Structure 1
Amino acid sequence: MPDADRALPAHPFDDDKLHEECGIFGVVGVQDAANFVALGLHALQHRGQEAGGIVSYDPDVGFNSARRFGYVRDNFTKASLMDSLPGQLAIGHVRYSTSGSKGQTAIRDVQPLFAEFSVGGCAIAHNGNLTNADSLKQELIERGSIFQSSSDTECIIHLMARSIQNNISERIKDALRRVEGAFSVVAMTRSKLIGVRDPRGVRPLMLGKLGDGWVLSSETCALDIIGAEFVREIEPGEMVICTAQGVESFHPFHPIKPRFCIFEYVYFSRPDSVIGGHSVYETRRRIGVELAKENPVEADLVCPVPDSGTPAAIGYSQESGIPYAMGIIRNQYMGRTFIEPTEQIRNMGVRLKLNVNRALIKGKRVILVDDSVVRGTTSRKIKDMILDAGAREVHFRIASPPTMWPCFYGVDTPEKDKLLASTMTEDEMRAHLGVDSLKFVSLDGLYRACGQKGGRDSADPQFCDACFSGDYPVKPTDMIDKGFKVKEPA
């Protein structure tokens, strides 16, 4: 395939984080809806940086779409492109490839996907992962379906095509009753904006009001950027149909206990968003408080690994009484400039993105607060930078429990044996990273920070915490078929 049809490779200095899933956004009943979608996607850019797409509908010209690689700001701010997306109804998607060919995204994989059915056209965008997509795809291919992408979202399109229901909304219900896993979906017909959340509500989806129109968004921060009023969260297992006349609500799935992704609080969501009635920033600050209570250490400074460690570091400092300081400064203008650097530049590694405040660090005992440890490669480099700057001691405090299990619900997680915590004890990890101490917040402490005063009830957990506990609320069917061994019940 020509290079122009392929996404740029994953950022070489961001490979030690759990990457965001995707972000979805939709608007109905507002003039130039696509412009509002572009703004919303810009606010959700942290959820996916590989590619983005927008589909709009205008009665005079029909459906129009634009799909591009790269950042929203580099593509969907051009008047010539946005003028080609007229209408009062539009949906959009920003992508980080958690399914399909990671790092080799083709333009055909970029959402929203569009299909013309016998009952009319429909565009659809999906945040999450279907855990039975492979088996569904095989079944559909054997029945004559021809797939054009590697995205599991296309399974939904083909299931809709085979439904005998006489309207798009009912066909979406039919299709989503067949899939397993995690999904928040936005879809659009010629007149309707549709949102659906999976029965366990693993991924977020918000409803907002903009003038006489309606908005669906992965996070509340994207409502803020367009001046929309936050109305409520779409409930787990709920389907809403939004038109200029109002919102209809349905519950097409059998009710089941919700298990929202706890890592949305730890890292994925923007700190200025509100989820489950809780400020993400305040939750992260409380995680830092729990971390300080559980794992105190004598030190001179508490420093975040920016930017995701900042709220927890503030909480740790407040609880411990140890001064908070910006010991590491982030280069905010790196962008995609170094997406394919020379070997010499590549060897500079994390220094291109982060720099130590030497005058502050020299001679100090430093507590570094980060959101997680995945492979550990970046943590080792940051430790080296701090020591090179003259720190006397380096203590890592991590605002999540050890990440020991891969996620199959829309997060790009390394294989289990690539996760540092799955192959080493905490003390072995400390020695591997070469730090004076290493401590993680407990799973109970994380739950307390997220509003569960008694911590995690192992018999009745409130969140999806599979990456920490190995307790998968939805069976990862396809991965089990490929040989993945799930954790045996205690």
Structure 2
Amino acid sequence: MLAEIKGLNEECGIFGIWGSENAAQITYYGLHSLQHRGQEGTGIVVSDGDSLKGVKGEGLVTEVFNTERLKELKGKAAIGHVRYATAGGGGYENVQPLLFHSQEGSLALAHNGNLVNANALKHQLERQGSIFQTSSDTEVLAHLIKRSGYQSFAERVENALSMLKGAYAFLMMTETELMVALDPNGLRPLSLGKLGDAYVVASETCAFDIVGAEYIRDVEPGELLRINDEGITSDTFSYSGNKAMCTMEYIYFSRPDSNIAGINVHSARKNLGKKLAEEAPIEADVVTGVPDSSISAAIGYAEATGIPYEMGLIKNRYVGRTFIQPSQSLREQGVKMKLSPVRGVVEGKRVVMVDDSIVRGTTSRRIVKMLKDAGAKEVHVVISSPPIKNPCYYGIDTSTHEELIASQHSVEEIRNIIGADSLTFLSVEGTVEAIGRNEKAPNCGQCMACFTGQYPTEIYPSTVLPHEKELVR
């Protein structure tokens, strides 16, 4: 699951629909709008009321699906997934939705997030006789549902969900029902909408805009929705006093045209830039942002300071998001392929370069060098988030302190490493205030564990690499 070429990676994206004869085609467009959340694999499973059928593959939505493949997927309901490999790694077998068949019927699963107790549950299930077909933590839920002793399917699902810890937004589909579940902490975004008589569910509201659906509301933490031909029902399978949406959804993950808890992502990022201008006023000639996720913050910074915003960096639109490459050397090479400085904008100028985060520092160093090679007199780097000092165990690809430059070095040391004339990070307090979630969503806070080290859930020892265990409390 992050920052395009700086070493953070997306979680995943999910989309579901119930009650439309064009379910597969609508899901295709929904997944296309969520492509930024994962580019390693994608899949769609449909239900025609009697059976489930799926198509999946490694690659982009447009690479895996064509007109002929979509025609094969006939049904009134569908769930789909775009994947970035976190827990379980890559491989075709881990591409979702996962599809299971038994004498009692079929089940399809699509998951955004990461289960921190997945390994412990797998060991327990294997001792009881389960044989896993994938290395994905998503498969754990299917085994828990199958082994549950409750009579009804809904009760088995609720019982299984109550055993999971961590971040998860699940779509579960049988021949006759679509079920939607969000973890009790609400770490991942998930929204409910309506398209004619059909219900739709998506990781981000931008998917509703693409398919023409009307946003109804966000799925609540700990909520289980059941959608079928009779309509929609809601139950709460778990309560938590520590509701905490991932802050990086606002800072980087989500598309600018999405809304989370009533807060527009673009507006939140502009406010982050404005708050950064308050905390780090700099005398400069131009402001530029690192495309694409930092543009909104850069515009906010420019508006607040009165320094002109300019396109000092151009993104090559014909190169895939290079963060998806698993090797660091390929990511680094991708910087040169993907970004180019505009000499006419930066030459002889004092440049404020706005970015959303620094993870390893490699990309920042290369971009600063590119700007200076293009003639920039000074390059002042301002970051619209606090320093990322702690690993994320909820679906973001930062699992050790060693790979996080801010965990190993002071701000001044990082400035020297990346070659900037100055370096400023936004404060934790400024981040919270700028996003404004406490005002618009007073009953639901923010997960800022990557900045503060305060995790909203227990982190299981089996989740943490051996040499990291003593660092997690």
TM range (shorter): over 0.9
Per-residue deviation at 1:86?
0.5
**Partner residue, 2:428:** 443
Q: Which residue of 2 aligns with 1:3?
A: none
Counterpart residue number, 2:79: 91
Q: 1:21 & 1:337 partners in 2: Cα distance?
A: 15
The verdict on how the C-alpha distance between 1:461 and 1:246 changes in structure 2, with shifts beyond 3 A counting, is: closer
Query: Aligned equivalents of 2:127 and 2:349: distance in 1?
Result: 65
Task: Pick from 38, 44, 51 the counterpart of residue 54 of structure 1.
Answer: 44
Ranges in structure 1 where 5+ consecutive residues have no aligned partner? 1-9
The alignment status of 1:298 with 2:287, answered yes or no, reads no
CA contact (8 A) 2:113 2:394 kept: yes
For the residues of structure 2 that align with 1:486 and 1:311, how far apart are their CA atoms?
Answer: 38
Equivalent positions of 1:244-393 (< 5 A) are 244-335=229-320, 349-393=334-378
Rounded Cα–Cα distance in structure 2 between residues aligned with 1:346 and 1:182: 27
SS in 2 for 1:407: coil
Q: CA deviation at 1:349?
A: 4.4
Q: How far does the alpha carbon of each residue in 1:175-217 deviate from its partner, in whole angstroms, 9 at most, with x for none? A: 1111111111011111211110000100111000011110010
Q: What is the CA-CA distance between 1:97 and the residue it aligns to?
A: 0.7
Deviation string, structure 1 residues 3-50 (Cα, Å, up to 9, x no partner): xxxxxxx99x95523111000110000012011111111000011000
- Match of 1:187, SS? strand
Q: Deviations over 1:271-300 (max 9, x none)?
A: 000001100000000000000000111000
Q: Secondary structure at the match of 1:30?
A: coil
- Aligned-partner residue type, residue 304 of structure 1: G
- The one-letter code matched in structure 2 to 1:43 is S
Residue from 430, 448, 459 that aligns with 1:476: 459
Q: What amino acid is aligned across from residue 46 of structure 1 in structure 2?
A: H
Aligned to 2:61: 72
**Corresponding residue number in structure 2 for 1:5:** none
CA contact (8 A) 2:380 2:420 kept: yes
Q: Deviations over 1:124-143 (max 9, x none)?
A: 11110000000110111111
Structure 1 runs of 4+ off > 4 angstroms? 336-340, 344-349, 486-489
Partner SS state of residue 100, structure 1? coil
Taking the TM superposition and a 5 Å limit, the aligned residue runs for 1:14-163 are 16-59=6-49, 62-76=51-65, 78-101=66-89, 105-117=90-102, 119-163=104-148
Separation (CA, whole Å) in 1 of partners of 2:332 and 2:352: 26
- Does the Cα contact within 8 Å between 1:89 and 1:191 map onto a contact in 2? no
Partner of 2:201: 216
Q: State percent identity of aligned pairs.
A: 47
Distance verdict in 2 for CA 1:480–1:354, change over 3 Å: closer
Aligned to 2:450: 467
Counterpart residue identity of residue 229, structure 1: E
Deviation at 1:170, TM superposition (A): 2.0
Tell me the residue number matched to 2:392: 407
Deviations 1:292-326 (A, max 9, x none): 00011100000001111100000000101101000
**Aligned length in residues:** 467
Are residues 1:421 and 2:406 paired? Answer: yes
The residue type paired with residue 404 of structure 1 is K
Provide the rounded CA distance (Å) in 2 between the counterparts of 1:183 and 1:215. Answer: 18
What CA deviation, in whole Å up to 9, does each residue of 1:107-138 have, x standing for no partner? Answer: 11111112234542211111100000001101
Structure 1 residues 137 and 352, CA, compared in 2 at 3 Å: closer, same or farther? same
- SS class of match (2:468): coil
**Structure 1 residue 480: Cα displacement:** 4.7
**Which residue matches 1:7?**
none
Which digits, 9 at most, give the CA deviation of each residue in 1:320-351, with x for residues without a partner? 110100000000111389999xxx99985412
Report the residue type matching 1:87 in the other structure. G
- Distance in 2, matches of 1:252 and 1:131, equals 19
The AA in structure 2 aligned to 1:57 is S
Match of 1:4 in 2: none
Q: TM-score, normalization: structure 1?
A: 0.91
Q: What amino acid is the match of 2:355? A: D
- Contact 1:480 1:486 (C-alpha < 8 Å) held by counterparts: no
For 2:68 and 2:405, the matched residues in 1 are separated by 47
More moved, 289-298 vs 117-126: 117-126
* 1:147 alignment partner, SS class: coil
Q: Is the Cα–Cα contact under 8 Å of residues 236 and 258 in structure 1 kept in the other structure?
A: yes
Aligned partners of 2:185 and 2:245 also within 8 Å: yes
Q: Report the residue type matching 1:18 in the other structure.
A: L
Contact 2:245 2:444 (8 Å CA) reproduced:
no
The residue matched to 2:146 in structure 1 has which SS?
helix
> Do 2:4 and 2:323's aligned partners in 1 also have CA atoms closer than 8 Å?
no
Q: Is the 8 A contact 2:5 2:321 kept in 1?
A: no
* 1:181 and 2:166 correspond: yes
SS in structure 2 opposite 1:418?
coil
Give the secondary-structure state (helix, strand or coil) at the position aligned to 1:97: coil
Task: Give the letter aligned to residue 33 of structure 1.
Answer: A
Q: 1:242 to 1:397 in 2, by over 3 A?
A: same
Give the CA deviation at 1:84: 1.3
| Gap runs ≥5 in structure 2 | none
DSSP-derived class of the 1:381 partner: helix
